[in-house]
A and B are shown apart, each in its own frame.
Chain A
Amino acid sequence: MRPLKDAQLGAFTFFASALPHDVCGSNGLPLTPNSIKILGRFQILKTITHPRLCQYVDISRGKHERLIVVTEHYESSLSDFQKQGKTVSPEKVLQVAYEVLEGLEFMNKHGLVHRALNAHNVLMDCKGNVKLAKFGFYHMTDHGADVDFPIGYPSYLAPEVIAQGSFHPTDPSHDEAPPPSGPKADVWSLGVLLFELCAGRRLLHNIEISERLKFILTLGCMDDIVTVLAEEHGCLDTIKELPENVQELLRKCLTFLPSKRPTPAELLGDPVFSGISCQYTPFQKPVSLFSSSLRCAHLELPDDISDLCKDEDEDYLSERAIDEVYHLWCLAGGDLEKELTNKEIIQSKPPICTLSNFVMEDGESFGQGRDRSFLLDDTTVTLSLCQLRNRLKDVAGEAYYPLLEDEQSSLPQSNSSNELSATVTLPLIIRERDTEYQLIRIILFDRLLKGYPYKKNLVWKEARVDIPPLVRGLAWAALLGIEGDIQAKYESIDKDTPIPTDRQIEVDIPRCHQYDELLSSPQGHIKFRRVLKAWVVSHPDLVYWQGLDSLCAPFLYLNFNNEALAYACMSAFIPKYLYNFFLKDNSHVIQEYLTVFSQMIAFHDPELSNHLNEIGFIPDLYAIPWFLTMFTHVFPLHKIFHLWDTLLLGNSSFPFCIGVAILQQLRDRLLANGFNECILLFSDLPEIDIERCVRESINLFCWTPKSATYRQHAQPPKTTADNGFGKTATYYSSDYQDMPKTDLSREPLALCDLKAELSPRISAEDLIDLCELSLSGPTKRSRAGKPKIVAVDIRSVEDYSRGHISGSINVAFNTAFGPDGELVQCPATGVLQNYRGRVIVVISHAMKSAAMFAAHLVKVNFPRVCILDGGINKLKPTGLLTVPSPQI
């Protein structure tokens, strides 16, 4: 969005019309409230950016179908001229006309019609340029169908608009809404407006509305409408004195028959503007982040760089984008309803005074007149930025322009950096509500994302701190590595031709995250359908499984106005975390996944694992929707965002840790309950503290050796190493599968064998790495980031003495456990007890005995037990085995 500059933020409010009582939609579900329809349709307006149009910023729903729209706003408008009661110079009239037409033409290009053009809605910025306000009103209300009031103002209505009738829900004579108005209706309104400017008085001002409209309709029989109007208003002389081109312009605008009236685009090219059109350069849309063309292609730096910083103006905030400023305004305690109430635009009566007397069985109520506070007052109220500026007055100017070149410094150094670094340690919820902190973070991310993909590494680094909600959509796209002309790719996918999956998609969408206003709006449903279909069509080897809709939801929500990006993110997300989950026959993938998951439960929480296995509450019963939808089916969107902020930074085995973390939050209840209660508990998952869940899953992840979550059906390693701007491969972000495969790596295991083992296997590679056994001396990585480990050799003492890895302890299998599986008291097991809590790697000759030993350990609640894949034999070729010097 454009910077705020000298604009203000404004807000106006209106009510959507109430739904009739107890009417169901054609699909049997309750009807969508009109306010939600409007909210959905509004979204696209946020993308309509043009210098002649007031930028739409946000819409919010209040109680009882109230909607509040936030837009760019200016205090002065054409009505100021009207108030002065003077005529306007012909040059000014031409300028206004031209600029209004520029705005209208741009709108028409995007399929929008203004319909509500009047003097109040043509605003003027400080330089006297035109800014059209409320241009999206007609669009967002579905041509006026979703509101009770007519769109437009009586004097400015075009004759055909009047003839098509007003649509009033209580009016029985009109069953259907009038057809939508075309762009030419606005040209008439513009004509009236210009006439008023020229004449210096309001058109048909003091006449009753129905008479006014009748008069407009009778103009059809007149030859020269402009003259008739001028005579009617007693300003024939003034009009006749106007320059010829202005008169011509008025005549063209005020053409009665639509077919003879020019469109805004035609009028813009008309010779009447030949004098001034050369002063205007056509508007160029800025290149978006993801496109095939070069973003910096048209960048021109002045010869003298210091010209750029000539602005002595200290107001850095107004250089920020409008939506950013509004976001910060909200964080700084801005309250739309309060602002509007203060200006007496919202006047509400106490609800007890508006209760009806009598309600019929079908819900229709009687005995209460129409509440006056529901009437339309579309005055735009300026939102004062004082509070926000006050809040940010201590933020240094440097903070608005952080330097990014130095990869070492994390946060921009400024006076308030101490305070900021203190803020970083606060809980995420608080950080997201902190105005200064969000300002700094948004600016930082904004700049990093502008430098994407070049600044990819820094985006990763900063995302590890947190992601500001305002830029989350793009930040996620950066984390997922989206690049290229996604729009063209998305457009080339056929999303219209019916496919067999349509029916299922149609059933699932109205059940997917419908508590959310955006996703439950009809526009949301349309977009849902298109993105899902695009994915299904473009992945012929995969199929639609229920759950894909939930997976799509967060991406769609964040990129509501950019379906292509939502599609691209989803297409990048699925192979990374859900490789082959959407195969037609995905059972082997899911089975392997769930088996690894239950091994992870045993690894991290043996007590819980023992209990769940005892009562037969296996992951198949509850965890499939968790993983198939990456938890989007079980959590509301705001929790998903926080969860995925971290998930996207981790590798494909991170979800296991999230799963274990969720189980641990429910641990007490699970341990206390039997099978039936557990099933009930999970059928409607209780509230989960998501911040704790994230924290714990990171902790669990750090304790998990990488190869423990090896899956043979995981995504195969990427063949090409296109690490142009590749992210830094850290222990946490890179996948085990991405590592080069060696002899010491894990080998695939048949599913039945995998299922037979309670504890995970780890590769010899991992063991060497974690025990720092490498021949080439200690590895580069510091000890701190690694889990503590102990190798337990369960071979017989003789075998052990013939060669073992250094640092391992010997607990012979046959001596360790008693007949009931309890640990026998002996020196060896005592050592083992001492190491409780470390990662225990069981090493043996035969995998079977290792697995049994590990199972015994889990049984007696030893955490973090795993097995060396391939046993001691794997290590023999490495030459790492040592023979202790014989004791003397």
Chain B
Amino acid sequence: MKLKNNNEKKMCDILEFVFEFKAGKHNCVLKVPLQFPVQQNISDLHGRLMLLHKIPCYIENELKSSLSSFIEKETILDYDREAELALQRLTNGDVDVNQLTNAWSRSYAETTLEHARPEEPSWDEDFADVYHELIHSPASDTLLNLEHNYFVSISELISERDMEIKKLQERQAAEMDKVMHELGNTLSDQDVNAVASQHFDAQQVLENKWASELKQVTCIQKQEYQEWVIKLHQDLQKSNNSSQINEEIKVQSSQLSEAADSGARMFEEQPQLEESFTIHLGAQLKTMHNLRLVRADVLDFCKHRHHGSSGAKLRRLQTALSLYSSSLCGLVLLVDNRVNSYSGIKRDFATVAKECTDFHFHCLEEQLEEVQQVVLYARAQRSSKQKEQPGESGNRKNGDDKSKNIERNPSNILPGEFYISRHSNLSEVHVVFHLCVDDNVRSGNITARDPAIMGLRNILKVCCTHDVTTVTIPLLLVHDMSEEMTIPWCLKRAELVFKCVKGFMMEMASWDGGISRTVQFLVPKSISEEMFYQLSNMLPQIFRVSSTLTLTSKH
């Protein structure tokens, strides 16, 4: 009665369990090699031994107790051996005591509240708490009106600026005309150039003057606003008799709204095409999400509007209410590889962001500066890590390509990477994901492995970890249409993005436990109505649209 042959090599952690028992007149010995530490269940092992070796049942209990005491004993010995080995290493000097204890103390300091350094109070967070409380109180209306008043004064300034710049430009154009007229007669090319550069300088001076003025006003506004908010909060807390304060608020608010009305200009609302869907994802357990297909300009979600226009104030209130909540709204903006706001959509976005003072976060420029620092830091981290583990990367060629790109300018970002800015002053958006894409997205043949798509996945992941419950994604991965974007191109691209986003959303269910979200797919304003409806027909074929609830009076 022996278990096979002990043909396995005698490793130190395989021990033999020996059990002797009597069966009738025979003395039997059971030998079982056991691997330590024992992973399997002892009862199972025992059951298997009984079965395999046809051990008579009258020694069942005896076998069990001797098996478990054997394993218990050996396991303790095992622990002792390991433990003393570690102590020995220390006494031998194989391990540095200081390094060891420092590692311990660091891990305590970094992970436990008891041993962590006390936190320095953060003004930002205090302000966040105060604001969150106020905006959910009767004072919210006042806050909004105040914000709006500030907005109006900024937009007045801006229109003044635009006017002045326009005037200057007109004057310069006239002057230039005159100069051009004289060209070849009294004036040479050099003179023209001189005038041109003079004009340019003048323009620069004017723009700078306005920029600094705007900045100053913004600063003052922000400070005033924050002080006012804190004071209001203190007053509210001090007085238990809040009715008086309420009166105060009301009076103020009515004054303010009057002022707001006077400055109201009517905005032409562009006809937005929009279609909503409720979908279910998942095989057995289904999670419900909302999808929306919208034809609009990407900046429409950002532009602050005057309270006069329909629903603008409500939208503002909604955005303000959820600013410090756990249901944020995000927007994906497609940008190039430079972190600034000098050109294209980046500049347009910056202009919109400046139209109203951000009372909570740093202004866009400062945020971008911070991002630039972080990008440099991240690159440095990466390269030091890569030096540590050379020859590990399997996709060497790809990596080379990338690293060359980075070497040229480490502050540039790569397709698929994105930076995040936060805003309190945009109409429907709190968080903007600036996703870097290259010209590749204009071509027709991108795949699900394209960096831009992977970037979308990471964006959705951040949405999960940071409670961004509404996110707007440019469906075609472009903000403007151009010649090469034909109907088949659009359909192909839309299908790809729909399908990928569906996959990511299903993945998300495992990250966050299936919280219901809203995903808005944005298509450029310039696509035709027909195209829009083609896309909206495509959506329910890819996502499972939940059945409409039919209320019948059956029976």
Q: Which A residues are within 8 Å of any B CB, using their own CB?
A: 30, 33, 61, 63-64, 148-150, 154, 159-160, 162-168, 170-171, 173-174, 178-185, 208-211, 213-214, 217, 220, 257-259, 263, 349-361, 363-367, 370, 372, 375-377, 491-497, 513-516, 633-637, 668-669, 684, 686-687
Q: List CB contacts (< 8 Å) of B77-117 with chain A.
A: 78-80, 82-84, 86-87, 89-91, 95, 97-116
Chain A, Cβ-Cβ closest to B119: A372
**Minimum Cβ distance to chain B for residue A699 (Å):** 10
Q: Across the interface, which residues of B come within 8 angstroms of A257, CB to CB?
A: 84, 87
State in angstroms the CA–CA spacing of A364 and B114 once bound together.
29
Interface stretch, picked from B141-149, B279-287, B310-318, B524-532, is B279-287
Contact A210 B420 (CB under 8 A): no
Contact B108 A357 (CB under 8 A): no
Contact A163 B370 (CB under 8 A): no
Contact B97 A160 (CB under 8 A): no
Q: Across the interface, which residues of A come within 8 angstroms of B418, CB to CB?
A: 358-359
Q: Across the interface, which residues of A come within 8 angstroms of B325, CB to CB?
A: 350
Q: Across the interface, which residues of A come within 8 angstroms of B323, CB to CB?
A: 350, 352
Contact A210 B113 (CB under 8 A): no
Interface stretch, picked from B158-166, B195-203, B473-481, B542-550, is B542-550
**A164 touches which of B83, B112, B419, B455 (Cβ 8 Å):** B83
Q: Across the interface, which residues of B come within 8 angstroms of A496, CB to CB?
A: 40, 44-45, 48
Interface of B is mostly: helix
Q: Across the interface, which residues of B come within 8 angstroms of A491, CB to CB?
A: 43-44, 46-47
Contact A372 B116 (CB under 8 A): yes
State in angstroms the CA–CA spacing of A669 and B377 once bound together.
58
Contact B79 A181 (CB under 8 A): yes
State in angstroms the CA–CA spacing of A213 and B167 once bound together.
76
Contact B377 A366 (CB under 8 A): yes
Contact A64 B510 (CB under 8 A): no
Please name 15 further chain A to chain B contacts, defined as beta carbons within 8 Å, in addition to the given A370-B110, A491-B46, sorted by A numbering. A30-B507, A163-B87, A173-B103, A181-B79, A184-B79, A259-B84, A359-B459, A360-B378, A360-B417, A366-B375, A367-B370, A497-B48, A636-B286, A637-B285, A686-B547
Given A168-B107, A213-B101, A492-B50, A353-B371 contact (CB < 8 Å): no
Chain A, Cβ-Cβ closest to B423: A352
Given A357-B419, A495-B44, A171-B87 contact (CB < 8 Å): no
**A355 touches which of B43, B46, B51, B462 (Cβ 8 Å):** B462
State in angstroms the CA–CA spacing of A782 and B514 once bound together.
50
**A163 touches which of B100, B328, B430 (Cβ 8 Å):** B100
**A350 touches which of B282, B324, B371 (Cβ 8 Å):** B324
Contact A357 B370 (CB under 8 A): yes
Q: Across the interface, which residues of B come within 8 angstroms of A63, CB to CB?
A: 467, 512-513
Contact B107 A150 (CB under 8 A): yes
Contact A163 B284 (CB under 8 A): no
Asked whether B431 is an interface residue with its Cβ less than 8 Å from the other chain, the reply is yes
Q: List CB contacts (< 8 Å) of B352-374 with chain A.
A: 367, 370-371, 374
Interface size of B in residues (CB-CB distance below 8 Å) = 103
Contact A361 B414 (CB under 8 A): yes
Q: Across the interface, which residues of B come within 8 angstroms of A367, CB to CB?
A: 370-371, 374, 377-378
Contact A361 B416 (CB under 8 A): yes
Sort A-B residue pairs by CB-CB distance and give the 8 closest, nearest first: A182-B79, A160-B83, A149-B111, A209-B105, A350-B324, A636-B285, A367-B374, A210-B101
Q: Across the interface, which residues of B come within 8 angstroms of A361, CB to CB?
A: 414-417, 451, 454-455, 458
Interface stretch, picked from B124-132, B179-187, B263-271, B490-498, is B124-132
Q: List CB contacts (< 8 Å) of B390-421 with chain A.
A: 413-420
Chain A, Cβ-Cβ closest to B507: A30
Contact A375 B103 (CB under 8 A): no
Contact A669 B547 (CB under 8 A): yes
Q: Across the interface, which residues of A come within 8 angstroms of B108, CB to CB?
A: 149-150, 154, 209
Q: Across the interface, which residues of B come within 8 angstroms of A183, CB to CB?
A: 76, 79
In the complex, 28 of the A-B residue pairs with CB atoms within 8 angstroms, ordered by the A residue number, are A30-B507, A30-B510, A63-B513, A154-B104, A154-B108, A159-B87, A163-B89, A165-B100, A182-B83, A184-B80, A209-B115, A210-B101, A210-B104, A350-B128, A350-B323, A356-B420, A358-B371, A360-B382, A361-B451, A366-B375, A376-B112, A377-B114, A491-B43, A495-B44, A496-B44, A496-B48, A686-B280, A686-B547
**Minimum Cβ distance to chain B for residue A631 (Å):** 10
**Minimum Cβ distance to chain A for residue B74 (Å):** 12
Q: List CB contacts (< 8 Å) of B428-470 with chain A.
A: 430-431, 451, 454-455, 457-459, 461-462, 465-468
State in angstroms the CA–CA spacing of A558 and B116 once bound together.
41
Q: Across the interface, which residues of A come within 8 angstroms of B466, CB to CB?
A: 351-352, 354-355
Q: Which of A163, A173, A183, A492 has the most CB of B within 10 A?
A: A163
Asked whether B229 is an interface residue with its Cβ less than 8 Å from the other chain, the reply is no
Contact B128 A214 (CB under 8 A): no
State in angstroms the CA–CA spacing of A178 and B86 once bound together.
10
**A220 touches which of B91, B324, B326, B430 (Cβ 8 Å):** B91
Contact B458 A350 (CB under 8 A): no
**Minimum Cβ distance to chain B for residue A116 (Å):** 12
Q: Which of B78, B370, B462 has the most CB of A within 10 A?
A: B462
Asked whether B236 is an interface residue with its Cβ less than 8 Å from the other chain, the reply is no
Contact A217 B462 (CB under 8 A): no
Contact A684 B79 (CB under 8 A): no
Asked whether B509 is an interface residue with its Cβ less than 8 Å from the other chain, the reply is yes
Asked whether B307 is an interface residue with its Cβ less than 8 Å from the other chain, the reply is no
Contact A375 B112 (CB under 8 A): yes
Given A182-B76, A209-B105, A372-B119, A214-B97 contact (CB < 8 Å): yes
State in angstroms the CA–CA spacing of A497 and B45 once bound together.
11
State in angstroms the CA–CA spacing of A361 and B459 once bound together.
10
Contact B417 A375 (CB under 8 A): no
Contact A492 B431 (CB under 8 A): no
Asked whether B304 is an interface residue with its Cβ less than 8 Å from the other chain, the reply is no
State in angstroms the CA–CA spacing of A471 and B276 once bound together.
43
Q: Which of B82, B370, B371 has the most CB of A within 10 A?
A: B82
Given A208-B105, A494-B52, A687-B111 contact (CB < 8 Å): no
**B79 touches which of A33, A150, A258 (Cβ 8 Å):** A258
Contact A352 B284 (CB under 8 A): no
Given A352-B328, A686-B546, A162-B51 contact (CB < 8 Å): no
Asked whether B295 is an interface residue with its Cβ less than 8 Å from the other chain, the reply is no
Q: Across the interface, which residues of A come within 8 angstroms of B374, CB to CB?
A: 357-358, 366-367
State in angstroms the CA–CA spacing of A321 and B279 once bound together.
42
Contact B284 A513 (CB under 8 A): yes
Q: Across the interface, which residues of A come within 8 angstroms of B90, CB to CB?
A: 163, 217
State in angstroms the CA–CA spacing of A668 and B323 once bound together.
44
Q: Across the interface, which residues of A come within 8 angstroms of B371, CB to CB?
A: 357-358, 367
State in angstroms the CA–CA spacing of A497 and B44 once bound together.
11
**Minimum Cβ distance to chain B for residue A487 (Å):** 8
Given A350-B128, A363-B458, A495-B44, A162-B79 contact (CB < 8 Å): no
Q: Across the interface, which residues of B come within 8 angstroms of A184, CB to CB?
A: 76, 79-80, 83
Chain B, Cβ-Cβ closest to A497: B48
**A363 touches which of B280, B420, B461 (Cβ 8 Å):** B461
**B51 touches which of A159, A350, A494 (Cβ 8 Å):** A494
**Minimum Cβ distance to chain A for residue B454 (Å):** 6
State in angstroms the CA–CA spacing of A184 and B75 once bound together.
12
Q: Across the interface, which residues of B come within 8 angstroms of A180, CB to CB?
A: 79
Chain A, Cβ-Cβ closest to B465: A64
Asked whether B517 is an interface residue with its Cβ less than 8 Å from the other chain, the reply is no
State in angstroms the CA–CA spacing of A533 and B266 once bound together.
73
Contact A358 B375 (CB under 8 A): yes
**B112 touches which of A149, A168, A174 (Cβ 8 Å):** A149
Q: Across the interface, which residues of B come within 8 angstroms of A217, CB to CB?
A: 90, 97, 101
Q: Across the interface, which residues of A come within 8 angstroms of B95, CB to CB?
A: 163, 165
Q: Which of A376, A515, A637 has the most CB of B within 10 A?
A: A515
Q: Across the interface, which residues of A come within 8 angstroms of B305, CB to CB?
A: none
**Minimum Cβ distance to chain B for residue A122 (Å):** 18
Q: Across the interface, which residues of B come within 8 angstroms of A167, CB to CB?
A: 107
Residue-wise, chain B 30-48 has the 8 Å CB interface mask toward A (1 for contact) of: 0000000000100111111
